[in-house]
């Protein structure tokens, strides 16, 4: 039986309210040396839903857990059927104004780096180059046996050939690229092995219950240590994976500023939370700073 991960958080009544004043964000960025920590909320305007916002996917969807994936061939079949269908939509997503604004801040020398909790590669597609993918990327596939890494597009082509005619109607697409399918819809899906050793293939992302690689965590900690400020974009900070960097910054006296429409678990560590939609907020900050947000996408 699939158990829902403990991922909920209830805001306490004494949290300070959010503001709509973008001045603090502009001042933070103008000084330079800022590290961005982004979450699912920055990708919603690209058509990728978030986990916990209004209509968030956790209200109806339990993400795959690592132990379930490695321990059950049936779970892997369900996962790959759902993920293969979701990839058709997920891979067509394009960067939105928020991603492009972050890339523009980097081009103008205002950022020291970007830590993203997202697995959608949209920061890089918008032109950001100094990006740490905390939870990995759906664009890569890794073999759990031999460690071989391959392109998700290559695997998608193999899966298309092995599952010709597979076109069930999904109820929804989720932030992790997983489509909502019933077990019956996934029952006949053919899972493919590693072409190098025949081992089990897994998307190169951190599943729930799986640890972020320690070297990656330390890279992020080093970025936060050297940052002039930490700017959180579109994350509820419910899980420790991202919250630890907010706590680290606050403990060191590094300013933390959050742009997120809803309260977050990190609000008590932040100087302020700006409660505005991300795309328009970041575009307004860019205009204030005289930074051009270019409408371009890299591949």
Tell me: do 67 and 167 sit in the same domain: yes
Average pLDDT over residues 286-297: 90
For residue 5, the model assigns a pLDDT of 47
Tell me: do 220 and 274 sit in the same domain: yes
Is residue 99 annotated as part of the catalytic site, yes or no? no
Note the pLDDT tens digit of each residue in 111-153: 999 999 999 999 999 999 999 999 999 999 999 999 999 999 9
Average pLDDT over residues 32-60: 77
Q: Highest-confidence range of 7-16, 80-89, 253-262, by mean pLDDT?
A: 253-262
Tell me: do 37 and 166 sit in the same domain: no
The last residue of one of the domains, among 153, 174, 205, is 205
CB neighbourhood size of 86 (10 A): 22
**Cα dist. 5→66, 180, 194, 221 in Å?**
11, 17, 29, 25
- 80: phi then psi, degrees, rounded to nearest 5: -70, -35
Tell me: do 113 and 129 sit in the same domain: yes
For residue 2, the model assigns a pLDDT of 39
Q: Which CATH number belongs to the domain containing residue 251 in this structure?
A: 3.40.50.1220
Tell me: do 146 and 290 sit in the same domain: no
Tell me the residue range of the domain where 108 lies.
16-48+95-135+212-299
- The answer to the question of residue 218 being in a domain is yes
Report the share of the chain in percent with pLDDT over 90. 74
Tell me: do 23 and 36 sit in the same domain: yes
Average pLDDT over residues 172-190: 81
Tell me: do 112 and 252 sit in the same domain: yes
Tell me: do 159 and 228 sit in the same domain: no
> Which of 164, 137, 134, 166 minimizes the C-alpha distance to 151?
137
DSSP E strands in the chain: the ranges are 34-38, 111-116, 131-133, 136-143, 149-151, 201-205, 229-233, 256-259, 272-274
For residue 85, the model assigns a pLDDT of 87
For residue 49, the model assigns a pLDDT of 80
User: Total domain count for the chain?
Assistant: 2
- Please state, in angstroms and rounded to a whole number, the distance separating the CA atoms of residues 54 and 52: 7
Average pLDDT over residues 47-65: 62
Tell me: do 126 and 226 sit in the same domain: yes
The last residue of one of the domains, among 186, 205, 224, is 205
Can you read off the two tokens belonging to residue 200?
């089990």
Sorted by sequence, the CB contacts under 8 Å of residue 98 that are 6+ apart come out as 42, 45, 233, 234, 278, 279, 282
Out of 135, 190, 219, 288, which one is annotated catalytic?
A: 135
Average pLDDT over residues 81-92: 87
The last residue of one of the domains, among 185, 205, 225, is 205
Average pLDDT, the chain: 90
Can you read off the two tokens belonging to residue 202?
């897994």
Can you read off the two tokens belonging to residue 263?
């309260």
Least confident of 24-28, 117-121, 180-184: 180-184
Sorted by sequence, the CB contacts under 8 Å of residue 77 that are 6+ apart come out as 186, 187, 189, 191
């Amino acid at each position: 039986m699939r158990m829902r991960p403990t991922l909920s958080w209830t805001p306490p009544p004494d949290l300070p309210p959010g503001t709509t004043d973008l001045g603090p964000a502009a001042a933070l960025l103008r000084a330079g040396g800022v590290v961005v920590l982004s979450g699912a909320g920055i990708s919603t305007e690209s058509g990728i839903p978030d986990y916990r916002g209004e209509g968030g996917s956790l209200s109806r969807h339990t993400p795959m857990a690592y132990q379930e994936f490695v321990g059950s061939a049936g779970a892997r079949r369900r996962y790959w059927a759902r993920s293969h269908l979701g990839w058709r939509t997920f891979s067509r997503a394009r960067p939105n104004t928020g991603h492009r604004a972050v890339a523009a801040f980097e081009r103008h020398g205002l950022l020291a780096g970007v830590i993203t909790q997202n697995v959608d590669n949209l920061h890089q597609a918008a032109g950001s180059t100094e990006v740490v993918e905390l939870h990995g990327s759906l664009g890569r596939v890794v073999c759990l046996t031999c460690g071989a890494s391959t392109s998700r597009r290559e695997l998608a082509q193999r899966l298309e050939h092995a599952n010709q005619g597979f076109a069930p109607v999904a109820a929804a697409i989720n932030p992790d690229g997983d489509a909502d399918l019933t077990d019956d819809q996934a029952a006949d899906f053919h899972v493919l092995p590693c072409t190098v050793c025949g081992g089990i293939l897994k998307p190169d992302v951190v599943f729930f219950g799986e640890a972020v690689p320690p070297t990656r965590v330390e890279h992020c900690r080093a970025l936060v240590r050297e940052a002039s400020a930490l700017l959180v974009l579109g994350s509820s900070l419910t899980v420790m994976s991202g919250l630890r960097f907010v706590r680290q910054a606050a403990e060191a006296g590094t300013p933390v500023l959050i742009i997120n429409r809803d309260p977050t678990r990190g609000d008590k560590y932040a100087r302020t939370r700006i409660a505005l939609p991300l795309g328009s907020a970041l575009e307004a900050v860019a205009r204030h700073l005289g930074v051009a947000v270019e409408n371009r996408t890299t591949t």
